[in-house]
Amino acid sequence: MSDPAIAVMMLGIFILTIMLGFPICFTLMAMGVGFGYYAYHDAERMQTLFDNRVFDLFVNQTYSVMANDVLTAVPLFLFMGYIVERANIVDRLFFTLQLAARRLPGSMAVAALATCALFATATGIVGAVVTLMGLLALPSMLKARYDTSFAAGVICAGGCLGILIPPSIMLIVYAAASNVSVVRLYAGAMLPGFLLAGLYIVYVIGMAWLKPSLAPRVPDEEVEHLNFGKMLLMVMTSFFPLAFLILAVLGAILFGLATPSEAASMGALGGLALAAAYRSLTWDRLRESVYLTVRTSAMVCWLFVGSWTFSSVFSYLGGHDLIKDWVLALDLSPIMFLIIAQLIIFLLGWPLEWSEIIIIFVPIFLPMLPHFGIDPLFFGILVALNLQTSFLTPPMAMAAYYLKGVAPPHVQLMEIFRGVLPFLSMVFLAMIIVYLFPGIALWLPTIVYGN
């Protein structure tokens, strides 16, 4: 069997093992070292058991991950998110935005989407946003006689915005995998992110207007006891502190005032200050935030170690060249290549999470982009939009499972699945719009940083 054939077999075995439920990062490391032992074996000289270059490769890849400046921002942004999550301001934020949108059809759903977008921007952690909003907003919407599927779809879709709207952890990981500037990715993702959030809100308002039974209007008497002064005070104490923190972090990155790591440090300190201001910075919450940050950061870093080891061996055996030559031999147009690549990523989103797709499979497509004249930044924004579907597409829609875990017992999983399907169409519509009008993704990076 030729080396490229062994590389393809290596990839097939990997997909099979993870579908059987084996841990992703350890599977990557085990297969990288195992097949690398064969790839780097030198039959011309006598070798001891551990005299193989694959072990040097594994050590070097581990050191490369530890020394990667881009990845330094990951634990800092995660810490900011976990601290903000425990600052107990999301309930106030949701109620404040609900008051602001009370004249709109589906006001509670609009408020839930806006809260999800802002909170997801602060955390970038889909599970945390969906879980917290499931505990906070879903019971309120069900109490207001909202359709169960409609309310569940709003929370699942809104909670996934954090992997697209900066400061997104996913964009940092893509930057590390593709060598695209993080700040340019952040600038490029701003307008597509708000475009998708806007499409969600337009859909919600339109459906609530066409079918009022989906989202009954909240009676005015429930909020008439609040005068303008009280409402203004709520806005000042719930919306503006979090919005200011997010804008300060993003502004420092986008305008070159700080590197992503420095801005993430500022965000982490700001999160601590915000939690202290709301008198929610207890020792237990701080310890839990640090623990969750370390656990998630370790997962990301070990994924990088495993994937880079796996990719190095896969490429050494000729796997990347084999796939590249096969794709180029199809003589595809750029749009057909994009469609096929995005379709593959969409299908991979069923069994895999975004981190495995970005770290393992997206690098297979990256070497082909110059041949088709596709900007890696533009490709990355399309991938970021596409990966919204990995959390929303049944049967492995993780956002639906997060919500089911905290939803009232009568909320069935199939109802949640039905609720997220219309929002999937909004994701595909956003991808089509961005492809037809690439300036949505490329205008801001070009204006701010030049070509």
pLDDT digits (tens, 9 = 90+) for 6-16: 888 888 888 78
Q: Where are the alpha helices (DSSP H) in 50-181?
A: 53-66, 73-85, 90-100, 107-123, 126-143, 148-159, 169-178
Distances (CA, A) of 112 to 158, 353, 387: 8, 24, 21
Matching residue, tokens 């992997």: 163
CA proximity to 267, closest of 116, 91, 123: 123
Say how far apart CA 205 and CA 109 lie, in whole Å.
8
Say how far apart CA 83 and CA 437 lie, in whole Å.
37
| Average pLDDT value for residue range 227-244 | 66
pLDDT digits (tens, 9 = 90+) for 422-451: 999 999 999 999 999 999 999 989 888 777
pLDDT band at 394 (very low <50, low <70, confident <90, very high): confident
Q: What percent of the chain has pLDDT over 70?
A: 90
Classify 179 as helix, strand or coil. coil
Tokens of 389: 């579907």
Helix 169-178 to helix 182-210 angle (10° resolution) is 140
Q: What is the pLDDT of residue 79?
A: 84
Q: What is the pLDDT of residue 29?
A: 84
pLDDT digits (tens, 9 = 90+) for 253-308: 777 778 778 888 888 888 888 888 878 888 888 888 888 888 878 877 887 788 77
The distance of Cα 231 from the centroid of its chain, to the nearest Å, equals 33
Q: What is the pLDDT of residue 221?
A: 54
Least confident of 35-44, 105-114, 180-189, 367-376: 35-44
Say how far apart CA 206 and CA 61 lie, in whole Å.
51
User: Other C-beta atoms within 10 Å of 60: how many?
Assistant: 14
DSSP 8-state secondary structure symbol assigned to residue 36: H
User: Other C-beta atoms within 10 Å of 373: how many?
Assistant: 8
Say how far apart CA 234 and CA 95 lie, in whole Å.
9
Is 107:206 a contact under the CB 8 Å cutoff? no
Is 119:93 a contact under the CB 8 Å cutoff? yes
Q: What is the pLDDT of residue 382?
A: 93
Instruction: Please provide the average confidence, as pLDDT, over all residues in the chain.
Output: 81
User: Domain ranges in the chain?
Assistant: 70-301+383-449
pLDDT digits (tens, 9 = 90+) for 305-324: 887 788 788 878 887 777 77
Tokens of 211: 């079918």
Q: Give the HSE-up count for residue 397: Cα atoms under 13 Å, Cβ half-sphere.
A: 28
| Average pLDDT value for residue range 228-242 | 65
pTM beyond 0.75: yes
CA proximity to 243, closest of 130, 358, 97: 97
